[in-house]
């Protein structure tokens, strides 16, 4: 079923552009804490039937097709995320990204955080990739959380600095410096897939529980996006694992991946 009220949110609003000259030298602020184990279990074990019921959602989008040969690392396709803990659009997008990548591998040490209190959609509950690890037989995932959600001066405290490769990818495919930025080989994303407003006032536990009900807007937005991201990854893994890539929900989303 299609999402009614969930509109695609292009991240071009003031305050979301990240300067290419990244701050350094300051002591990195700590993340808010560890993600609840129950939440991690919930998002990494969504039943296939729920994914399939949600399927393709025309109200969510964000991927763009890019040319060139997809990058690899250690012989595996490379997926890169660049964001920041203060960013509410990053907060929204981490949910489907964690869900999608959990279909190909395992996260450990995921953090729990929230978007900035003083920004739009304040205190949106979400994961943090700061300090997290990801293991997969199918792909390599690299992440950068540029800044914390802690105000410092006129901005936010720096947290992580991108590598030369991550900086180059971001600069090449996202010259305006918007976040979140996601690189998936043949596809990139430089916007949020759905409106963070639908997560307003919800805890991580409440979001993870709502996500399993395909009749509610949070599930449709998060899992609809996750199906699309999964379909994009499947183009890099040559359709493996088949139990994921050939599933009804992913196949439906794959038909709508951008081709140019």
Strand partners, 133: 108
Least confident range from 17-21, 150-154, 190-194: namely 17-21
Which pLDDT belongs to residue 32? 66
pLDDT of residue 22: 36
Question: What pLDDT shows up at residue 59?
Answer: 85
pLDDT in tens, 111-170: 999 999 999 999 999 999 999 999 999 999 999 999 999 999 889 999 999 999 999 999
Question: Which helix (H) or strand (E) is 188 found in, with range?
Answer: strand 187-189
Query: What pLDDT is attached to residue 191?
Result: 86
Give me the pLDDT at residue 93, please: 98
**CB of 222 within 8 A of CB of 95?**
yes
Residue 184 to residue 189: CA distance in whole angstroms: 8
Helix (H, G, I), strand (E, B) or coil at 183: strand
CB 155 within 8 A of CB 147: yes
241 cis-preceded (ω within 30 degrees of 0): yes
| pLDDT tens digits, 209-260 | 999 999 999 999 999 999 999 999 999 999 999 999 999 999 999 999 998 7
In this predicted structure, the answer to whether residue 11 has a pLDDT above a threshold of 70 is no
pLDDT in tens, 39-72: 999 999 999 999 999 999 998 888 999 988 999 9
The CA distance from 207 to 209, in Å, is 5
Q: What is the pLDDT of residue 260?
A: 78
Q: If we measure between CA atoms, which residue out of 80, 46, 85 comes closest to residue 163? A: 80
pTM for the model stands at 0.89
Instruction: Tell me how far apart the alpha carbons of residues 92 and 82 are, in angstroms, rounded to a whole number.
Output: 14
Distance in angstroms (rounded) separating the CA atoms of residues 55 and 248: 7
Q: Yes or no: say if 230 and 123 are a contact pair by the CB < 8 Å rule.
A: no
Placement of tokens 């290419």 in the chain: 20
Question: What is the arithmetic mean of pLDDT over 9-29?
Answer: 35
Neighbours of 155 (CB within 10 A): 14
Asked if pLDDT for residue 7 goes beyond 50, the answer is no
Helical pair 217-236 and 88-101, crossing angle rounded to 10 deg? 60
Name the β-bridge partners of 128: 111
Q: Which residues contact residue 134 at a Cβ distance below 8 angstroms, ignoring those fewer than 6 apart? A: 101, 105, 106, 107, 108, 141
Tokens of 98: 């964690």
Chain segment 59-108, per-residue pLDDT in tens: 888 899 998 899 999 999 999 999 999 999 999 999 999 999 999 999 99
What sign results for the dihedral spanned by CA atoms 8, 40, 219, 148?
A: negative
């Amino acid at each position: 079923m299609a999402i009614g009220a969930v509109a695609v949110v292009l991240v071009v609003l003031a305050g979301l552009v990240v300067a290419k000259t990244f701050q350094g030298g300051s002591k990195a602020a700590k993340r808010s804490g560890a993600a609840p184990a129950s939440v991690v279990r919930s998002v990494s074990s969504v039943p296939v039937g729920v994914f399939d019921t949600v399927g393709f959602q025309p109200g969510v989008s964000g991927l763009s097709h890019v040319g060139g040969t997809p990058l690899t690392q250690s012989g595996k396709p490379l997926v890169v995320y660049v964001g920041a803990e203060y960013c509410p659009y990053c907060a929204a997008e981490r949910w489907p990204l964690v869900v999608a990548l959990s279909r190909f591998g395992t996260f450990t040490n995921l953090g729990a955080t929230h978007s900035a209190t003083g920004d739009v959609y304040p205190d949106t509950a979400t994961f943090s990739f700061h300090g997290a690890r990801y293991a997969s037989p199918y792909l390599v995932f690299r992440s950068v959380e540029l800044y914390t959600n802690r105000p410092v001066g006129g901005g936010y405290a720096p947290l992580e600095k991108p590598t030369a490769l991550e900086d180059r990818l971001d600069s090449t495919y996202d010259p305006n410096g918007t976040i979140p930025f996601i690189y998936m080989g043949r596809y990139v994303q430089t916007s949020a897939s759905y409106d963070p407003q639908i997560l307003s006032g919800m805890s991580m536990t409440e979001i993870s529980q709502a996500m399993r009900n395909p009749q509610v807007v949070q599930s449709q937005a998060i899992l609809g996006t996750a199906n699309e991201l999964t379909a994009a990854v499947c183009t890099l893994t040559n359709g493996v694992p088949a139990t994921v890539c050939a599933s009804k929900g992913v196949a439906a989303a794959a038909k709508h991946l951008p081709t140019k």
